[in-house]
């Protein structure tokens, strides 16, 4: 692949590339969005995008202003996201599952001058608005509310022709907040060119996406993963996206698969596990899917195998990040290794750095650093963290990996999750993969815990499938099972049978909660 940036002019507005280009190249009548009972063409999307751009400008926002979006996956989200970029306003897609305190922090931190929010979520936002003198206009989507303008009414009145802001390809286009596993959220600043790079390098070269495809992502548009899957990937080639505003329960997922017959399906490991556990499923629901993709956290090989056996598709696992916007390592349709993240996505480079700051030799575990042109420009208002995470050309992922002699990358855990036991590194994922091979284990997580001597030992939290076997017998059986498969120092000293595991809204296991004193060794 040649460098896609070479064909991007310096004056470049990415809304024109992903929206207007589809109309200009003759795809105006092609279906862009399938949403509930609606079938929306690219020409209709372009019309709504221009209305949204004019709405924002009429509301007092100017180029460079920030706009918080707290919207469900919907045509309104699509129109407002692209409309803001068209107008030179910076949209900030925001998680719809946060607390009032988290929303207040983001509103203050971003200095947003505009807000578009679902009416059902407005009560969480309202207390913070009185403390935001810089806020120019609030639009409420859905039911009318005295706390702001009605989004749908203003959209209906907005003109359908809007000027395209003459932005530079390296200007900020949108922000995405990320918090990792702990700490206050920080906003990754992405440029106009970044989405084009991810489209060209991953969506086209790994997924082979094209106009006939129909994408369905269970990860929402406010996540970096979902934003690519369900918006700029399909829009980049004139394909169709299916938008689901509700929570992606297994029942809703199966209903959507049967109704819209997507060809590209995106989820996280927790969703794949939930689909496997759902009762009474027609195993042919995935027959339209030519590519199933997983990201967010490593997909254990036993889960991969169970899903393939039941539903058919071979899941393409990979790793990306909010900082890099989308995937930089991935399995391929013709080159899939279960339990492995795959190989580098074209256009990306990697190095693995050991604890002494040196490049690790093949097969040695270290921290993964990535170099690629989709990297964020930095974090908003976090100069020290920006310098730490983006030193020079590299992005530090905080993930522990090793690369084997065939060029495959193997995830070992987050830097904070790795543990040294008897002076040797132990990867939580390795132990978890073996546990998941046991027929009674539904899901599990392994963390480091201190024993009575203050030494770190593995501790496993295990959620079981329905069984009548007494807990003590199961614990003994699991310990015997692991001893036959792992070196002694990797076998958990404690096995805790749990009803569930703490997870983030993205489905990632919150291991720091499992390491807390309330989950101590004797628990």
Residue 401 token pair? 């990996």
Q: CA 193, CA 225: separation in Å to the nearest integer?
A: 17
User: Given 3.30.200.20, 3.40.50.10860, 2.40.50.140, 3.40.50.12780, which CATH number is that of 211-374+388-416?
Assistant: 3.40.50.12780
What per-residue confidence (pLDDT) applies to 2? 57
Q: What is the pLDDT of residue 522?
A: 37
Residue 231 carries which DSSP code? I
Q: What is the pLDDT of residue 425?
A: 77
From-to residues of CATH 3.40.50.12780 in the chain: 211-374+388-416
Q: Which long-range contacts (CB under 8 A, 24 or more apart) does 344-348 make?
A: 344/407, 344/409, 345/201, 345/202, 345/205, 345/206, 345/318, 345/372, 346/1, 346/201, 346/205, 346/206, 347/1, 347/3, 347/4, 347/197, 347/200, 347/201, 347/372, 347/373, 348/201, 348/372
pLDDT score recorded for residue 518: 56
Q: pTM of this prediction?
A: 0.87
DSSP letter at 332 equals B
> In the CATH scheme, what is the homologous superfamily, with its name and number, of domain 427-519?
ANL, C-terminal domain (3.30.300.30)
pLDDT, residue 520, reads 44
Report CA-CA distances (Å) from 351 to 246, 321, 410. Answer: 39, 16, 13
Q: How far apart are CA 222 and CA 72, in angstroms?
A: 9
Instruction: Give the residue ranges of the chain where pLDDT is below 70.
Output: 1-6, 180-183, 423, 517-523
245 contact partners, CB below 8 Å, separation of at least 6: 35, 36, 72, 73, 74
User: Would you state the pLDDT for residue 410?
Assistant: 96
Top CATH class, 1-192: alpha beta
CATH 3.40.50.980 segments of the chain: 1-192
Q: Can you give the pLDDT at residue 523?
A: 38
Q: Delimit the CATH 3.30.300.30 region(s) of the chain.
A: 427-519
What backbone torsions phi and psi does residue 108 show, to the nearest 5 degrees?
-70, -50
């Amino acid at each position: 692949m040649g460098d896609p940036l070479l064909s991007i002019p310096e004056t470049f507005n990415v809304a024109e590339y992903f929206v207007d280009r589809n109309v200009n190249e003759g795809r105006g009548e092609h279906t862009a969005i399938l949403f509930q009972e609606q079938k929306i063409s690219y020409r209709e999307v372009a019309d709504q995008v221009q209305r949204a751009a004019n709405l924002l400008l009429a509301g007092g926002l100017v180029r460079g202003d920030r706009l918080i979006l707290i919207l469900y996956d919907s045509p309104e989200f699509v129109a407002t996201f692209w409309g803001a970029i068209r107008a030179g306003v910076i949209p900030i897609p925001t998680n719809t599952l946060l607390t009032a305190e988290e929303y207040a922090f983001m509103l203050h931190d971003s200095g947003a001058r505009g807000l578009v929010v679902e009416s059902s979520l407005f009560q969480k936002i309202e207390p913070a608005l009185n403390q935001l003198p810089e806020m120019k206009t609030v639009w409420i989507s859905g039911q009318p509310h005295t706390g702001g303008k009605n989004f749908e009414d203003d959209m209906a009145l907005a003109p359908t022709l809007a000027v395209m802001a003459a932005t530079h390809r390296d200007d900020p286009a949108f922000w995405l907040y990320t918090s990792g596993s702990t700490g206050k959220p920080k906003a990754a600043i992405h440029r106009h060119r970044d989405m084009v790079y991810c489209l060209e390098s991953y969506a086209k070269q790994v997924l082979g996406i094209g106009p006939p495809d129909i994408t369905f992502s269970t990860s929402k548009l406010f996540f970096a993963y979902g934003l690519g899957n369900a918006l700029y990937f399909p829009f980049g080639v004139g394909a169709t996206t299916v938008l689901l505003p509700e929570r992606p329960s297994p029942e809703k997922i199966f209903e959507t698969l049967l109704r819209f017959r997507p060809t590209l399906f995106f989820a996280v490991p927790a969703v794949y596990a939930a689909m496997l556990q759902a009762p009474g499923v027609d195993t042919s629901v995935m027959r339209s899917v030519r590519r199933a993709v997983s990201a967010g956290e490593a997909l254990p090989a036993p889960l991969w195998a169970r899903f393939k056996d039941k539903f058919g598709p071979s899941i393409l696992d990979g790793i990306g990040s909010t900082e890099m916007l989308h995937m930089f390592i991935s399995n391929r349709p013709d080159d899939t290794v279960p339990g492995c993240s795959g190989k580098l996505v074209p256009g990306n480079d990697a190095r693995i750095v050991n604890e002494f700051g040196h490049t690790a030799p093949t097969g040695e575990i270290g921290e993964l650093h990535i170099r690629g042109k989709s990297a964020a420009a930095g974090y908003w208002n976090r100069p020290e963290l920006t310098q730490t995470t983006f030193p020079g050309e590299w992005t530090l992922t905080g993930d522990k990996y090793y690369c084997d002699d065939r060029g495959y990358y193997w995830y070992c855990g987050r830097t904070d999750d790795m543990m040294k036991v008897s002076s040797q590194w132990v990867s939580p994922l390795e132990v978890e993969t073996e546990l998941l091979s046991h027929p009674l284990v539904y899901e599990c997580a392994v963390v480091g815990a201190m024993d009575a001597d203050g030494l770190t030992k593995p501790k496993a939290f295990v959620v079981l499938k329905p069984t009548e076997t007494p807990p003590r017998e199961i614990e003994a059986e699991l310990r015997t099972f692991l001893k036959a498969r792992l070196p002694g120092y990797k076998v958990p000293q404690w096995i805790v049978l749990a009803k569930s595991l703490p997870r983030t809204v993205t489905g990632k296991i919150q291991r720091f909660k499992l390491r807390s004193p309330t989950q101590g060794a004797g628990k």
